[in-house]
Structure 1
């Protein structure tokens, strides 16, 4: 079956048609063709494999497309292997290699190390656009279910009674991600957060800390604000 990849594989037929339909391409890959080509121009060299007399190598673009489909939908490696007429191990290797290449070539470009000036600019936009002062971003997280690593005990066991790692992401006032953290712990003070600054219109009151905002799943901290607990809005007298 896999030897007839060029006759029936999704890469040579379905994906080729999708490039002619921008909306369906975006729906299938969560990305338009121009964005995909841009990523390929950055990481294609790391995805290239040598063709031999015994085996035709898988094109870098096909490796990228399989990876984007996996990341966009969570389809299993086995399902993707059937669609693209690839070996399951080839799909797995493609996903791992492509993700590693994206991290190496694009992480510093897309997520530059935060600076105090960057945080001040974000806070200024939050104030101007959302009328919220001293805000560095909105945070949310997701539990990514995993198979418990060997000899890890209850380290990855969560309150939902599954094993997972936590993905945290911080977004600015324009909904753009500015910082991501996966599977480990961090502190806000390690992110070059600016020194406390007086709130707009606060007069003679002292400076206040810069903060991030999150939902009720997060704890209340000096650097993190969350809603009041419960479903009722408190009444002020």
Structure 2
């Protein structure tokens, strides 16, 4: 090989190494992206910061339909759970406010809307919603379970529940109901098709 060919080969190698380095730099920049740029505009564009604020000012019935609680109930719930769900802003990004966290959780519970869909509406990533919703539900449970999810403790309390079911729905000996839940049970021996599950097929 003559000297010119060696120089051309070296130049090609250096160019190739520079291209590889640029590609790696671009790839690492993509990995360092903490927040999609459009999500940074949440405070201007999200459902909470626009529609929900309008509903709270102008249309209380729609606010209640949207969250399944009225404004006073929303604010009461917020005051109870805020210490458990509020987050601090960081240098990297602005935290999702406790108001938004409660709103998106109540909306999810009210509608069953997917995290992907809620993410677009609230301008919050679905990954973050997958952490927010269980966290807020846990906080609501911690705050409310003793006063609102209390099981009867005495025989008299259970008898009152049984009497209420009998009076209201004519179900004697009933002490509770599960709405929309399928509970799998083993069928008794020789019961034929009485206990056949027609929904599973």
- Larger of the two Rg values belongs to structure: 2
Deviation at 1:65, TM superposition (A): 0.5
In the alignment, does 2:49 pair up with 1:12?
Answer: yes
| Cα deviation digits, residues 76-98 of structure 1 (max 9, x gap) | 11111111111121211110111
SS class of match (2:180): strand
Deviation at 1:51, TM superposition (A): 1.4
In the alignment, does 2:157 pair up with 1:123?
Answer: no
Kept in 2: contact 1:46–1:101 (CA 8 A): yes
Determine the structure 1 residue equivalent to 2:85.
47
Kept in 2: contact 1:40–1:60 (CA 8 A): yes
Write the distance in 1 (CA, Å) between the matches of 2:158 and 2:46: 47
| Cα deviation digits, residues 56-107 of structure 1 (max 9, x gap) | 1111110011011111111111111111111121211110111111122211
Runs of 5+ unmatched residues, structure 2:
1-37, 189-193, 196-201
Determine the structure 1 residue equivalent to 2:117.
79
Runs of 5+ unmatched residues, structure 1:
144-165, 169-183, 186-218, 221-227, 230-237
Alignment TM-score, normalising by the size of structure 2:
0.64
Give matches, 1:139-158, under 5 Å: 139-143=177-181
Deviation at 1:53, TM superposition (A): 2.2
Shift of the 131–79 alpha-carbon distance from structure 1 to 2, 3 Å rule, reads closer
Alignment RMSD, CA only?
A: 2.9
More strand by share: 1
Q: Which runs of 4+ in 1 moved over 3 A?
A: 123-127, 129-138
Deviation at 1:124, TM superposition (A): 4.0
* Match for residue 128 of structure 2 among 66, 79, 90: 90
Kept in 2: contact 1:25–1:32 (CA 8 A): yes
Alignment length, in residue pairs? 151
Shift of the 123–48 alpha-carbon distance from structure 1 to 2, 3 Å rule, reads same
Alignment TM-score, normalising by the size of structure 1:
0.55
Write the distance in 2 (CA, Å) between the matches of 1:102 and 1:141: 20
Kept in 2: contact 1:122–1:135 (CA 8 A): no
Write the distance in 1 (CA, Å) between the matches of 2:129 and 2:168: 44
More helix by share: 2
Kept in 2: contact 1:11–1:84 (CA 8 A): yes
Determine the structure 1 residue equivalent to 2:144.
106
Write the distance in 2 (CA, Å) between the matches of 1:81 and 1:94: 11
Answer 1 or 2: higher relative contact order, Cα 8 Å, separation at least 6. 2
Write the distance in 1 (CA, Å) between the matches of 2:125 and 2:169: 53
